[in-house]
Structure formats: C-alpha cells, structure tokens
C-alpha cells in the first residue's frame, strides 16, 4: 500500500508565499486549511477546497490526518515561519518528520526587526502565546534586545504594565502588528507608552536598550560599596556580599527574601544576577526604605516597608533568604517558610547570635577583611581591618 502524501505547511504574509516550491504545493493541494484571514488573501484560482481553521490545533491536525488518509493532498496555511514558535513542533509529533513538508515565510520577528531597521542575530525571542507572561518580562530585564510574541491573554499593553511594575524604564519599544498584511502598523515609543496603549493582541513587541544605555543584567557581584546609597557605612561590605552570594547559590527562578535589607546591595545584585528571581527587600527604617527604593529602582526587586518577622506574612514562600538584620526571630520564620531545597544565608556581628544561627543552619565561618590604606604621603600601605562578620548558611543541598 502506497504511503499517503505528506501534509504540507506553507507560511504566508498577506496571501504571499515565498519560493516556487511553496507555490507549487499550494496549487497542488486539494484541501487548504487555514485561518480566514490567510485563506481569503490567497489567489482565487487555487483549486483546493478551503477549510477554515477552528477549534484546537490538535483537532485541526486530526482533520488534516483524516483528509490525507482519504487521499487528499492537504496544505495547512499559516502565518510566517511555522517552525518558529509555530505549528511544526506539534505537526511533527503527529505526522513524524517524514510525513511533513514545510515551506516557511519570513517570521514575524524577522519582519518586525526589519521594519525597525535593526539586525536581530543578537536578539532574544520569547513567546507569551499560550505561555505565562513572567518569562517574557524576565527576558526584557535580562537582555539588551528582546522580541516578545504577544497574545489575546497577554497583549502588548499588559507586557508594558508588568515591565513598569518590575522597574524597567529605559527601553526603546516598537509594537509591530499585522506584518505583511494590508493593515500592517508599527508603533514606536517607550515602556510608559506601551503600558498606556491599546494594541492588536497578536503583535511582536521589540524592547531594546538604547545605544549607550546601561544593561541591567550583570555577572559582576560584590560591587563597590559606593555603588549604593547607604547610611553611615551600614551596608553588607563588598567582599562579604560576594561570599554571601556564592553561598546563596542563586537559582534561575523562584523567590528570594532580603531581610533587614538596609541599602539593598544584596537584593540588587541578586536581582541583576538572576532576573528570573522575584526579589523582596524587607526593611523597617523609613530612611533606609527610601534609599532602598533608589538603589533598587531599575532591578525589578520589590521593597517591603515593615519589621520582620511580621512583614514576611504576606510574602510568597522563599527559595532563598538572606538575613542581614531582623534577629533570630526572622531567621526562624525564614527557615519555617523555606521551600524544599532552599538556602538561607545570615550575617551577624555579635558572637552569641552567630552561634545560635550557626546551630540552626549547620554552617558558620568568620569573614575578616583587611584593606590596604596609604601610610603618609609615600607609596607605602598598611592593612586596616574591617570589623569581622560571622556568616551562617544552610541547609546544605
């Protein structure tokens, strides 16, 4: 018995396909399945029966399989490149690689960057179509050039609102809609305009850090203390901070609490190193809260004004916790709320608190740092010791 012909996927824009082989497949098809906007834009002399795509994609593929098994030459007409966040993965699972032929058009992302006059070989592309929105927000926080495929459940303006909530401000934004079609439009602006606008839900949103703008992602940690506003030296010193971040073993995603955040230096560096983390910086002193807001303004971290442990009640359970203040009561709450596999790191100046915390967490070290300072006007240096810090951490993975 002869094998049935492969199901064909043809990408189009505004009724136009790309390449002679795609045209030959369309004219050879006896059944053409696609969205109304795609089918209505095709040439009227195509001989195949038009079948409007309705319901789930799985049901559409089953219809295509049934028609194929009855000897029909089936062609699925889709937008752009079906191998790029499109139908190919699902269709390959149904028909196998040998039962599928693909003729792509340029992807909507390629067209969006073309309309913006930008290369996109250095871009990160994420989809919010049938997927949560937060990974797209995380990508914009993490990378300089990002394209987001939006959807009815996550339209462009909702992306803008979430970016604003996470503290993203400095981005050049473009919203490209109905690309390659008669109704094509490209809006340009900023994050605030994106959040306030109304756009076609099925769009491509480009978020690009302007030339010369700062990249909010960073693989540097233990940054100089002068990077952050702080009160009278009340900051987790750079060297201690670097060790604490190593002990935290930051995951790619999850929830982190910085309790007694002070300047927010730990929260800021955690947020930049792992933009998929939801970082909550908890601080009780009103003056420090204002410094926190300044230091964390572009990181996406959330400032929680209040005294631990009561201020922790409404926060989601953590995967990682840094305790820079708040005493043993805050540590006990953090350990009780910690998710499986999580880690707590706590620093103390007092020996008695450190000993109690070390007993709870299982690990304790003293971190002593001495800095080189000039001796008189010459080139000589002496070592000036910082106050030692006790660091506790656990549970061990």
pLDDT of 39 reads: 93
Q: Give the pLDDT of residue 231.
A: 59
d(CA 25, CA 184): 26
Mean pLDDT across 85-90: 90
- The answer on pLDDT for 23 being more than 90 is yes
Supply the pLDDT for residue 33. Answer: 95
For residue 207, give the nearest of 269, 216, 198 by alpha carbon. Answer: 216
* pLDDT, position 98: 87
Q: Give the pLDDT of residue 1.
A: 55
* pLDDT tops 90 at residue 48: yes
Determine how β-strand 302-305 pairs with β-strand 100-103: unpaired
- pLDDT, mean of residues 127-146: 86
Q: What is the mean pLDDT of residues 115-138?
A: 90
Q: State yes or no: pLDDT of 216 exceeds 70.
A: no
pLDDT on residue 272: 81
pLDDT digits over 309-363, tens only? Answer: 999 999 999 999 999 876 899 999 999 999 999 999 999 989 999 999 999 999 9
pLDDT digits (tens, 9 = 90+) for 181-201: 889 999 999 999 999 999 999
**395 pLDDT higher than 80:** yes
* Average pLDDT estimate for 93-114: 94
Burial (CB count within 10 angstroms: exposed 0-12, middle 13-18, buried 19+), residue 385: exposed
How far is Cα 372 from Cα 285, in angstroms, rounded to an integer? 32
Tell me what pLDDT residue 290 has.
83
The pLDDT tens digits for 51-65 are 998 778 888 999 999
What pLDDT shows up at residue 11? 95
Query: How far apart, in Å, are the Cα atoms of 204 and each of 14, 127, 179?
Result: 16, 9, 9
Read off the pLDDT band of 296 (50, 70, 90).
Answer: confident
Give the pLDDT of residue 273.
84
Ranges 99-103, 231-235, 291-295: which has the least confidence: 231-235
Say which range, 80-89, 125-134, 215-224, 269-278, has the weakest mean pLDDT: 215-224
pLDDT: is 325 or 235 the higher one? 325
User: Where does the pLDDT of residue 230 fall: very low under 50, low under 70, confident under 90, or very high at 90 and above?
Assistant: low
Banded pLDDT at 202 (limits 50, 70, 90): very high
Q: What is the mean pLDDT of the chain?
A: 88
Task: Choose the weakest-confidence range: 146-150, 300-304, 353-357.
Answer: 300-304
Predicted local confidence at residue 299, as pLDDT:
78
239 band by pLDDT with thresholds 50, 70 and 90: confident
Two tokens, residue 315? 């926060």
Terminal Cα distance for the chain, rounded: 58
Quick one: pLDDT at residue 391? 93
Q: Tell if the pTM clears 0.75, that is, is over it.
A: no
Q: What is the mean pLDDT of residues 291-311?
A: 85
What is the pLDDT confidence band of residue 82, given thresholds at 50, 70 and 90? very high
Tell me the pLDDT tens digit for each residue of 170-180: 799 999 999 99
- Asked if residue 222 has pLDDT above 80, the reply is no
């Amino acid at each position: 018995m002869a094998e049935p012909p492969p199901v064909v996927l043809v990408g189009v824009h505004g009724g136009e396909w790309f390449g002679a082989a795609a045209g030959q497949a369309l004219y050879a098809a006896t059944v053409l399945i696609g969205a109304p906007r795609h089918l209505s834009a095709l040439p009227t002399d195509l001989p195949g029966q038009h079948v409007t795509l309705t319901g789930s994609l799985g049901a559409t593929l089953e219809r295509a399989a049934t028609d194929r098994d009855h000897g029909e030459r089936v062609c699925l007409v889709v937008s752009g490149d079906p191998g790029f966040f499109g139908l190919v993965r699902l269709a390959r699972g149904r028909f196998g690689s040998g039962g599928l032929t693909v003729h792509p058009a340029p992807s909507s992302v390629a067209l969006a960057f073309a309309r913006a006059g930008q290369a996109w070989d250095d871009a990160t592309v994420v989809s919010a179509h049938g997927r949560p929105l937060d990974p797209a927000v995380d990508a914009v926080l993490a990378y300089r050039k990002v394209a987001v495929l939006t959807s009815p459940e996550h339209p462009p303006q909702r992306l803008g609102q979430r970016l604003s909530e996470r503290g993203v401000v400095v981005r050049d934004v473009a919203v490209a809609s109905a690309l390659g079609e008669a109704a094509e439009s490209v809006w340009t602006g900023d994050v605030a305009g994106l959040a306030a606008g109304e756009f076609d839900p099925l769009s491509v949103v480009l978020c690009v850090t302007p030339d010369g703008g700062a990249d909010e992602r960073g693989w540097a940690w233990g940054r100089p203390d002068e990077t952050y506003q702080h009160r009278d030296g009340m900051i987790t010193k750079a060297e201690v901070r670097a060790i604490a971040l190593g002990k935290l073993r930051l995951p790619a995603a999850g929830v982190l609490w910085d309790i007694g955040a002070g300047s927010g230096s730990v929260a800021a560096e955690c947020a930049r190193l792992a933009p998929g983390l939801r970082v909550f910086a908890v601080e009780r002193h009103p003056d420090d809260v204002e410094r926190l807001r300044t230091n964390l303004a572009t990181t996406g971290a959330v400032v929680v004004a209040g005294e631990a442990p009561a201020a922790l009640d409404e926060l989601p359970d953590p995967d990682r916790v840094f305790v820079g203040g708040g005493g043993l009561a805050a540590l006990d709450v953090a350990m009780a709320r910690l998710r499986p596999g999580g880690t707590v790191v706590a620093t103390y100046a007092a020996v008695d608190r450190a000993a109690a915390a070390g007993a709870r967490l299982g690990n304790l070290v003293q971190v002593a740092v001495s800095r080189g300072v000039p001796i008189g006007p010459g080139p000589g240096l002496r070592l000036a010791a910082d106050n030692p810090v006790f660091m506790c951490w656990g549970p061990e993975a």
